Amino acid sequence: MARANLRAAFMSGVTSTITAQQVFTDRTDETAAFNRSLVALHQTLDTAEVSPVVDRVQGRRNVLTFYGVGGIGKTTLSHELERRLLAGEGLDDVANEEQSEAVSVRIDVSEEGASDLENLLLRLRAGLGQLDNEWPAFDLALASYWVRAHPGEALQEFLDASPATRRASRGVRLGEQIAGNVAQALSSDFGGLAGMAQRAALGTYRAIRDRVREGRLLSECELFAELIEAEADYETLSFFPYLLAWDLERKVRRRNKRPRMCVFLDTFEVLGGQGDRTAERYVQRCVYLMPNVLFVITGRNRVDWADGGTSGELDFTGPERWPNLHFSNQTAEPRQHLVGYLSDSDADSYLQEALTQDGTSAIPPEVRSRIISGGQGLPLYLDLSVSHFVELLARGSQPAVEHFGGTFTAVAKRSIRDLPREERDLVRTAALVDRVDAALLRAGQPTLSDGSVARFLRRPFLTHDDAYELPYALHGALRAAISEADRGLPDGWSDRDRAEVAARLLRRLGERSQTATGRAAVAQALESGLKLSRDHGVFDDWMARATQHLVEAGQWTAIGTNLDGGPAELPEFRAMRAAIEGVWLRRTGRAVEAVEALDGADADLAPESLPGQLVRLHLAHALRNQGDYTRAAGIYRQLLGGEFATDADYWLSDYDYLNGRFTTALSTLRNQRAGDVAHEGERLRLIGHILRVNARFDDAAASYNEAITLARNADLAAAEAKALANLAQTACWSGDTATVSNAAARGRELLDLVPNPVELVKIRSAEAVCWAMADELAKAREAVADTRRLADAISYRGGHNLADVAQVLIGVSTGDHDGARRTRDALDERTRASGGNIYWVSVVTSWLDGLASAAAWHPTIDWVDGADAALGRWVAVVAA
């Protein structure tokens, strides 16, 4: 199914244009609201005539939102609700609820990589894996997606790369669960996701796809076949939550028991606060397509999905889609709740219970009253005040009323002042970044002892989550308050002090990125580094290298989320931001916009600057995509001798090849040795291209066969498919139909699994030439027409060059020289306009008008062993 149709299938229905800005002011007890929400959701699901999982037009009633200012206790509330869920508290009065299983998934979307779609879905699947091992619809679709989106990468390696995903998946042995379900569905051994060779894994995909086409696999799951057939990208993946919901609903019907399944999404304002809402759109699809799961969202802002103003940014909007989230709903659960400040009586109860002595409150009533008056019910304010009370006692002082009260910033200032000098510097260091560990703190404060760091990490204002490589964090509101309060302290840091510490932290993050075992860890280090750079005016070249590493690995979607400008940003940071935006635009097919974003983004940098080189590299790539080979080549020349010289060398050789400078390109390529298997395969194929258009077919075939063997041994199916298409393009000139048919069949088999429509155009053009050489002209004309049709479908102008060559060959064979010359003239006009592939005009002219005319047509072409020898071979091809 085409992408637009796939999206429409999941979005059928009418969206509302109603807009509203009112907010709730009710004081509903949050735990009671949570309990009622679970009951209401289950009643809605159990009484529905048609399950909302299947009926995707039904309004969704599966979102409970708690929102309020920072420090109000939303995260604490979220954890308490999760505890109650797993303990079964509050549901004893509901029939059968106490017998049902409870499962929770917790995701803090502010953490690096937490909102990445692949990580999100795998954590959801791991949560469901606590209920049962078998989730066939999702697992089969994931297997089909994985082997195409992550060629050669084992799923288990990906699961282990992210600390949070690793912890969730290992608890249920997720990799083994998925592999077992796929093997059971196919009635065969399966290990592709856990580490099987790419070729075998792709064979598994083909087996899944073929059984789905034959109606022998999950035919009762609507749209399952469409999801299996669709492209393996994030757009397709974002609809996979529907399969999880479908699997869950089928289990409910079979067991006649509905589990209590909740997903807790904390710090949700991070998604809603981004200028680009792509990540939120994917998360919203997940929520909408899993109407049988309760999503508990906590954040600073109310969710605006029921408002009409978000239409276009998000898919599912309006009160028809989210009836309970609309401002007019004041009663039906689940709905949106403003988390209010604690009442004076609740705050007093908290302070009385926080510290006790002989069964009574240790904090005197008059001190509690002063704290309550200053805190205005803000839980974080109360926590810090209690910590201050304890510090005064520890120093032998008697806490008095005048020691308390004031603004939140004043309380934060007292909290810093209470700490020993070493720990004051550590809390300032921790406030510079989202998360820390002991090693990162020591990097920021290298003169402090391990003991000082260890004591600091035990402080109550630090939260700890060992799911993350950097497990410690300060509350976001406290980080901001510390930064402000520190400026008023006698020993407070200056902006220069902060910048110097930020630079040390940045270097340490760079060291972590170089030793990281997975790409997710590199992306997390880069994200933290970019924020430090933005906020404190520091920079390190490792960020440019890490960015290019992630781009080359195809992980460009994981880079640079929420990269708005900052007050201290350097030209290097602005260049990095432009480079990341340019990559995103180019990879999503918007080459013109990519050029606009990149052009001039390095203006304020020295030529040798690494961020500047990164900008220019991707500007050149965008220009090539746009068809401006000449300007792109000029930029590649500027990059020679720099960080990205290997890439520049290759693309300059490609440019030389396109413009007939064959000996130059061949000499450069033969002196190169690429750094990895993928680059080496590209080098061998380009050598083959040069030899092929010089009619040295045996030498070209040898180069292609070497590339095929290299790719096969490394399990690089996409690279092998390219080389097979090139082999067919070479063998076709001898009329060797057996070799061409074999290479074409093997190439198409792989391209069926790792789609690349450009290579399909090349294969079909090779068949056109082969049939013309074999005097099967009807088949040759049909193949020429197919080549043009396929090229037009993907806007591949070069495909018409290949079709023109085959068409001229047919004209020569039939004696239609006038028609062949008209085709030759069209080919000449097209190649001159594009600035590449000009040699084909000389080749076809040699067939029509002889060697002298052919050599004179483009006299600048530097044939490998001279024009007479090369064009003479082409004349001999047709004569034979």
Do 752 and 869 sit in the same domain of this protein? yes
* E strand residue ranges, 452-539: 462-464, 472-474
What is the distance between the alpha carbons of residues 449 and 436, in angstroms, rounded to a whole number? 16
Mean pLDDT of 763-785: 95
Do 865 and 726 sit in the same domain of this protein? yes
Do 811 and 691 sit in the same domain of this protein? yes
Contacts of residue 769, defined as CB under 8 A and 6 or more positions apart, other chains included, come to: 729, 732, 733, 780, 805, 806, 809
In the sheet that holds 294-299, the strands lie side by side as 102-108, 260-266, 294-299, 63-67, 336-338
Spell out a b/e string for 848-875, using b for 16 or more CB atoms within 10 Å of the CB, else e: beebeebbebbeebbbbeebeebbebbb
pLDDT tier at 550 (50, 70, 90 boundaries)? Answer: confident
pLDDT exceeding 70 applies to what percent of the chain? 89
How confident is the model at residue 221, as a pLDDT?
Answer: 92
The total domain count for the chain is 4
Q: How far is CA 788 from CA 655, 750, 780, in A?
A: 24, 22, 13
How confident is the model at residue 275, as a pLDDT?
Answer: 61
Mean pLDDT of 80-86: 90
- Whether the link from the prior residue into 334 is cis, omega within 30° of 0, is yes
Mean pLDDT of 820-846: 91
- For residue 361, give both structure tokens: 């409150």
How confident is the model at residue 563, as a pLDDT?
Answer: 66
Do 236 and 184 sit in the same domain of this protein? yes
Mean pLDDT of 467-492: 80
Do 871 and 779 sit in the same domain of this protein? yes
Give yes or no for residue 189 having a pLDDT over 80. Answer: no
How confident is the model at residue 6, as a pLDDT?
Answer: 54
How confident is the model at residue 198, as a pLDDT?
Answer: 60
Side-chain-side CA neighbours of residue 577 (13 Å): 17
Query: Is residue 761, in this structure, part of any structural domain at all?
Result: yes
How confident is the model at residue 608, as a pLDDT?
Answer: 92
pLDDT tier at 447 (50, 70, 90 boundaries)? Answer: very high
What is the distance between the alpha carbons of residues 112 and 529, in angstroms, rounded to a whole number? 11
pLDDT digits (tens, 9 = 90+) for 291-343: 999 999 998 888 989 986 665 688 899 999 999 998 888 789 999 888 877 77
Under DSSP, is residue 473 helix (H, G, I), strand (E, B) or coil?
strand
* Alpha-helical runs (H) found in 162-294: 163-172, 174-186, 198-213, 224-229, 234-237, 241-255, 269-272, 278-289
Do 247 and 286 sit in the same domain of this protein? no
Do 161 and 240 sit in the same domain of this protein? yes
Query: Is residue 143, in this structure, part of any structural domain at all?
Result: yes
What is the distance between the alpha carbons of residues 280 and 412, in angstroms, rounded to a whole number? 33
User: What is the distance between the terminal CA atoms of the chain, rounded to a whole angstrom?
Assistant: 46
Mean pLDDT of 364-382: 83
pLDDT tier at 196 (50, 70, 90 boundaries)? Answer: very low
CB 23 within 8 A of CB 327: yes
CB 271 within 8 A of CB 265: no
Do 198 and 324 sit in the same domain of this protein? no
How confident is the model at residue 77, as a pLDDT?
Answer: 87
pLDDT tier at 553 (50, 70, 90 boundaries)? Answer: low
How confident is the model at residue 9, as a pLDDT?
Answer: 53
pLDDT tier at 90 (50, 70, 90 boundaries)? Answer: low
**Which of 356, 377, 406 lies at the terminal end of a domain, its last residue?**
406
* E strand residue ranges, 666-819: none
Mean pLDDT of 562-570: 71
Mean pLDDT of 428-432: 92
How confident is the model at residue 3, as a pLDDT?
Answer: 41
CB 143 within 8 A of CB 135: no
Dihedral pair phi/psi, residue 261, rounded to 5°:
-115, 120
Of 19, 112, 24, 14, which is closest to residue 64 (Cα–Cα)? 24
pLDDT tier at 588 (50, 70, 90 boundaries)? Answer: low
Query: Is residue 799, in this structure, part of any structural domain at all?
Result: yes
Give yes or no for residue 749 having a pLDDT over 70. Answer: yes
Give yes or no for residue 694 having a pLDDT over 90. Answer: yes
Give yes or no for residue 561 having a pLDDT over 80. Answer: no
Side-chain-side CA neighbours of residue 183 (13 Å): 14
CB 453 within 8 A of CB 426: yes
Q: What angle do CA 825, 831, 834 make, to 5 degrees?
A: 145
CB 60 within 8 A of CB 285: no
How confident is the model at residue 99, as a pLDDT?
Answer: 54
Mean pLDDT of 510-523: 80
pLDDT digits (tens, 9 = 90+) for 787-815: 999 988 877 778 899 999 999 999 999 99
What is the distance between the alpha carbons of residues 450 and 406, in angstroms, rounded to a whole number? 34
Do 770 and 757 sit in the same domain of this protein? yes
Spell out a b/e string for 603-630, using b for 16 or more CB atoms within 10 Å of the CB, else e: eebeeebbbbbbbbbbbbbbbbbeebbe
Contacts of residue 78, defined as CB under 8 A and 6 or more positions apart, other chains included, come to: 66, 106, 264, 266, 296, 298
Of 735 and 55, more confident: 55
CB 798 within 8 A of CB 760: no
Dihedral pair phi/psi, residue 711, rounded to 5°:
-65, -40
Contacts of residue 476, defined as CB under 8 A and 6 or more positions apart, other chains included, come to: 70, 110, 267
Do 761 and 847 sit in the same domain of this protein? yes
Query: Is residue 795, in this structure, part of any structural domain at all?
Result: yes
pLDDT exceeding 90 applies to what percent of the chain? 45
Residue 65's H or E segment, with its range, is: strand 63-67
Under DSSP, is residue 448 helix (H, G, I), strand (E, B) or coil?
coil
Query: Is residue 72, in this structure, part of any structural domain at all?
Result: yes
CATH value at residue 747: 1.25.40.10
pLDDT digits (tens, 9 = 90+) for 202-254: 778 888 888 888 888 888 999 999 999 888 888 899 999 999 999 999 999 88
Amino acid (one-letter) located at 362: A
**Which of 290, 316, 340 lies at the terminal end of a domain, its last residue?**
340
CB 236 within 8 A of CB 224: no
Parallel/antiparallel/unpaired status of strands 356-357 and 336-338: unpaired
pLDDT digits (tens, 9 = 90+) for 262-302: 999 998 988 865 667 888 899 999 999 999 999 999 988 88
How confident is the model at residue 560, as a pLDDT?
Answer: 62
Do 163 and 235 sit in the same domain of this protein? yes
What is the distance between the alpha carbons of residues 549 and 551, in angstroms, rounded to a whole number? 6
Give yes or no for residue 405 having a pLDDT over 90. Answer: no
CB 811 within 8 A of CB 822: no
Query: Is residue 479, in this structure, part of any structural domain at all?
Result: no
Q: Which domain holds residue 85?
A: 9-101+257-340
Residue 879's H or E segment, with its range, is: helix 867-879
**Which of 255, 281, 309 lies at the terminal end of a domain, its last residue?**
255
Give yes or no for residue 874 having a pLDDT over 60. Answer: yes
Let me know how long the chain is: 880
Query: Is residue 23, in this structure, part of any structural domain at all?
Result: yes
How confident is the model at residue 389, as a pLDDT?
Answer: 86
Mean pLDDT of 555-572: 70
* E strand residue ranges, 312-391: 336-338, 356-357, 360-361
pLDDT tier at 13 (50, 70, 90 boundaries)? Answer: very low
Query: Is residue 86, in this structure, part of any structural domain at all?
Result: yes
Give yes or no for residue 726 having a pLDDT over 50. Answer: yes
Do 203 and 121 sit in the same domain of this protein? yes
Is 0.85 surpassed by the pTM of this model? no
What is residue 192's DSSP assignment?
A: T
Mean pLDDT of 115-138: 92
Bridge partners of residue 361, in order along the sequence: 356
Bridge partners of residue 314, in order along the sequence: 311
